[in-house]
Chains A and B, each alone.
Chain A
Amino acid sequence: MASHGIKDQVAVVGMGCTPFGEHWDKGADDLLVDAAHEAYASAGVTQDDIDAFWLGTMGSGVSGLTLSKPLQIDYKPVSRLENMCATGSEAFRNACYAVASGAYDVVMAIGVEKLKDSGYSGLTGSRPPSDGTDSSLTAPATFSLLAPAYAHKHGLDEETMKEVLTRIAWKNHKNGALNPRAQFRKEVAKETIAASPRVAGPLGIFDCSGVSDGSAAAVIVRAEDAHRYTDKPLYVKALSFSSGPATGALDSSYDYTTFREVRTSAEEAYKQAGINDPRSQIAMAEVHDCFTPTELVLMEDLGFAEEGTAWKEALNGTFDLDGDLPVNPDGGLKSFGHPIGASGLRMLFECWLQLRGEAPPERQIDSEKTLGLTHNLGGQPGACVSFVSVVGSELG
């Protein structure tokens, strides 16, 4: 029994990504049509060429019909997946495996979420009937638990911690300002971020990702077929997923400064991709910056910084667009908002642009490296699911 990975067996040959934002004029159906057809055009295929579909959505529909109806798909398999905030990545992972297995030649992974129709702030969702004892904390509150714990463990005073979190938000907004698909396309002054109204613990409104609608899609084929569709395919080097036992809130040894699920999924992905020093080998990373302390902790869990040093690296610009290892060059969840089912594929879309040299010049990364990483997280500290992918523009 072992996990083997599917390095270089499948490739992404076309992608689409709608602008993310408050699409009052578009429903989930419209967003799916837009993303799917942009991806078809990108790969130079028609819908008839796609053999099977994987749709990720948390709450914008149930069953494969959510996709087959708006797209008028003719009696082909559509799987609908949900894995909390990692839903989009989960659609991608399963679609890749279907191609690697030999079951299909050409498949699509597509994700969507229509959040702005609920009329509520933040995420909403229906849960199965319960005994009423589950925590009622909001997502920002559960992730805010990371901040005092990290500061306490690594000796940061409150002010320094706030400065670190502020700089992460500032950096992602700065990147998002250069991205026409982002929900927020303006730089935000550090003073504004730091002074924003409190949401939970030390987190202000600018420490939180926005709420938006969006969709993104990828066309996936066997690696050996990739050049039939594009000169610049993106090869899948690693796909990993970790679903934890959710014992953080039960186990006194958990200290709220790390995600064990991220560490295990990163380790597995690096093993599959043959990476031993992610900091020096990866050109760029798209990570799940749902809240600023999440990105801080992820830098250590993904091996981009030594434990206890990510705050310094964040402050000195290591993860800036022109830093050693650009993180969230597209602006991240911070600038895009987080339409659940779409986010994982939106991250992949930035790798698609950057590693193929097709990002707009003002945010194109200048790197000899050929590998990109996406990281997608669902749940909360101590009880989450984590996805890591590594993709590359070259075989081997």
Chain B
Amino acid sequence: MRGIIGYGTYVPYYRLDRSKITAAMGSGGGRGHRAVAGYDEDTTTMGVEAARNALRGSSPIPSSIWFATANPAYLDKTNATAIQAALDLPQETWAVDAGGSARSAEAAILGASGTAGVSMAVISDLRTGNPTSNDESSGGDAAAALIFGDDDDAPVLAHALGRAASTGEFLDRYRLPGESSSRIWEERFGEQAYLALAQDAIERATKSANVGIEDVDKVIIAGMHARAVRGLSKIAGDKLVDDLTGLIGNPGAAQLPLLVASALDQAEPGETILCVHLADGAYASVVRTTDAIADYTPFATVASQIEGGSDNLEYNLYLTWRGFLDREPPRRPDPDRPGAPPAFRSEDWKYAFVGSRDRTSGAIHLPPMRVSMDGGAVDDMERIRMADVPATIATFTVDYLAFSLSPPTVAVVIDFDGGGRFQAEMTDVDPNEVNIGDRVEMTFRRLFTAQGIHNYFWKARPLAN
């Protein structure tokens, strides 16, 4: 039997209270919150965090990564390669992108579930919209990773009993490359198209699964066409899984896998879940959980991440982060772009946060060194990955002058549990709430973008829980 053998999700730390949009602009906004990727996050970094959480909750190492997003950090260049590198996966890993649309999530899921061996679908989205637009307030940022495999790899937690798709070519939502906001046709037009396509896909999926709609325990309906989703949800009644849009908004391509993960967080063995995705057609899958779900503990549940966020984000900061509000830059030179050859040479360090440990003295070097600081041994080091090791703040400062998209910069000197010290930038933290002795963990971020190059590296953030 093949199915989901592990999963992980990532909901960024910040929430925008939609009423702040209304207060600032006199229109737009609404009730509830949307999740907001930090100024130092993009779909690739969020994908890395979701995938890390998936791997920290599961043991098998994937041999392929299928990454999908509607908002890729790079075009031409594959984004999944940065995820593969950040996860410290071997070069045999087949890492590929699907992208451009919310529907590309299905490509990643089908690719990973249909490819032999342990395969991981990583789906991430960062939704923007013009100030006061419905997309701005109803969108959300998040990522999810689903690991597929066979029982030989790890106990299957849930597997598809049947699935079907329908495809429709019609203008619902569209965007030219480079535009910061989608265009949307009149909602009522899309609704009728989606409802017919969904009905067809659900019928065929339940038939191939050999279950009736009445046998379904839970129904997930994902899709960015809110009116169509609302219309379709009538078939679910009280079996409908909360789509979390009131708490974090709709994370586009990532919504389907995020809601699947959220359902699995709470699922009992033997549950039958109908998953429907409305995106340029409809995709329906009937999934059943196994007994193994009872013994599976996700590294971080969707609910715990929603709970752990901060809703203090101000609207003007949100606009700045998303590029809708330019501020006067500091009177400092722009940061230098990273060089391709140096970044290539230090891939283990820059992407995987791998240092070196002196085989004799045990001294850990971050960044890795060839000559030991303790004893001077030359080229007698082993690699040691520190990305998942918690650390404690030894000292810190707040830099009001350093280049940052969101000053001030918080810098911390941290000592890792079991040895190793590093001076890191700190993120997802209030500069006034940093103290010597605080506990932190590492997170993969985009430090800045210079001359078309995203500078990815690791930062410290407060340790969850």
Contact = CB atoms under 8 A, between A and B. Distances in A.
Interface of A: 119-122, 124, 126-127, 129-133, 135-138, 140-142, 144-145, 148-149, 152, 198-201, 245, 247, 249-252, 254-256
Contact of B336 (A127, A145, A249): A127
A359 B337 CA distance: 49
A200 B401 contact: yes
Interface of B: 330-333, 335-339, 341-343, 345-346, 349-350, 365-367, 369, 373, 394-403, 409, 411, 413, 415, 419-423, 425, 436, 447, 453, 455-457
A252 B394 CA distance: 8
Nearest to B411: A137
Nearest to A141: B399
B428 to A, nearest CB: 18
Contacts of B409: 136-137, 141
A132 B399 contact: no
Contacts of A119: 331
A137 B399 contact: yes
A145 B346 contact: no
A137 B401 CA distance: 8
Contacts of B333: 120, 124
B411 to A, nearest CB: 5
B400 A199 contact: yes
Contact of B395 (A122, A132, A138, A148): A148
A132 B401 contact: no
B179 to A, nearest CB: 28
Given A131-B345, A141-B409, A148-B396, 9 more contacts: A130-B338, A132-B453, A132-B456, A136-B403, A138-B399, A152-B436, A201-B399, A250-B420, A252-B421
Contacts of A124: 332-333
A121 B436 CA distance: 30
A136 B402 contact: yes
Nearest to A139: B401
B385 to A, nearest CB: 15
Given A131-B350, A149-B395, A252-B421, A137 B402 contact: yes
7 contacts: A121-B401, A129-B341, A137-B399, A141-B397, A145-B396, A249-B413, A250-B420
Contact of B332 (A121, A127, A142, A198): A121
Give the residue among B336, B339, B425 with the most A Cβ atoms within 10 A. Answer: B336
Contacts of A255: 394
Contacts of A145: 395-397, 411, 413
Given A121-B332, A249-B413, A131 B402 contact: no
A140 B399 CA distance: 8
Contact of A122 (B332, B336, B397, B457): B332
B457 A200 contact: no
A133 B342 CA distance: 10
A158 B464 CA distance: 29
Contacts, number: 129
A120 B403 CA distance: 12
Contacts of B373: 245, 247, 250-251
Give the residue among A138, A145, A250 with the most B Cβ atoms within 10 A. Answer: A250
Contacts of B366: 250
Nearest to B333: A124
Nearest to A124: B333
Given A131-B339, A132-B350, A148-B395, A120 B401 contact: no
Given A120-B332, A199-B400, A251-B373, A135 B411 contact: yes
B336 A148 contact: no
A199 B397 CA distance: 10
Contacts of A200: 397-401
Contacts of A256: 394-395, 413
B424 to A, nearest CB: 9
A132 B343 contact: yes
B397 A131 contact: no
Contacts of B419: 252
Contacts of A252: 394, 415, 419-421
Contacts of A132: 336-339, 342-343, 350, 447, 453, 455-457
Contacts of B336: 126-127, 129-130, 132
Nearest to A253: B421
Contacts of B350: 131-133
Contacts of B422: 249-250
Contacts of B337: 132
A129 B339 contact: yes
Contacts of A199: 400-401
A201 B412 CA distance: 11
Contacts of B423: 135, 137, 249
Given A152-B436, A249-B421, A252-B421, A130 B342 contact: yes
B375 to A, nearest CB: 12
B365 A148 contact: no
Nearest to B355: A250
A131 B352 CA distance: 13
B392 to A, nearest CB: 10
- Please name the 5 residue pairs, one residue from A and one from B, whose CB atoms are nearest each other, closest first: A132-B338, A129-B339, A141-B399, A201-B397, A132-B455
Given A133-B346, A148-B436, A140 B401 contact: yes
A136 B333 CA distance: 12
Nearest to B336: A127
A105 B283 CA distance: 88
Given A130-B336, A256-B413, A141 B346 contact: no
Given A135-B411, A137-B409, A251-B373, A144 B339 contact: no
B338 A122 contact: no
B251 to A, nearest CB: 28
A140 B339 CA distance: 26
Contacts of B420: 250, 252
B7 to A, nearest CB: 30
A131 B346 contact: yes
Give the residue among B421, B422, B457 with the most A Cβ atoms within 10 A. Answer: B421
Contact of B421 (A129, A140, A251): A251
Contacts of A247: 373
Contacts of A136: 335, 402-403, 409, 425, 447
Given A137-B409, A149-B395, A252-B421, A131 B401 contact: no
A367 B179 CA distance: 73
B435 to A, nearest CB: 10
Contacts of B455: 132
Contacts of A129: 336, 338-339, 341-342
Given A121-B331, A198-B400, A131 B411 contact: no
Nearest to B435: A148
A141 B330 CA distance: 16
Contacts of A126: 336
B68 to A, nearest CB: 26
Contacts of B401: 121-122, 138, 140-141, 199-200
A149 B423 CA distance: 15
Contacts of B339: 129-132
A254 B413 CA distance: 11
A120 B329 CA distance: 11
Contacts of A152: 395, 436
A250 B396 CA distance: 15
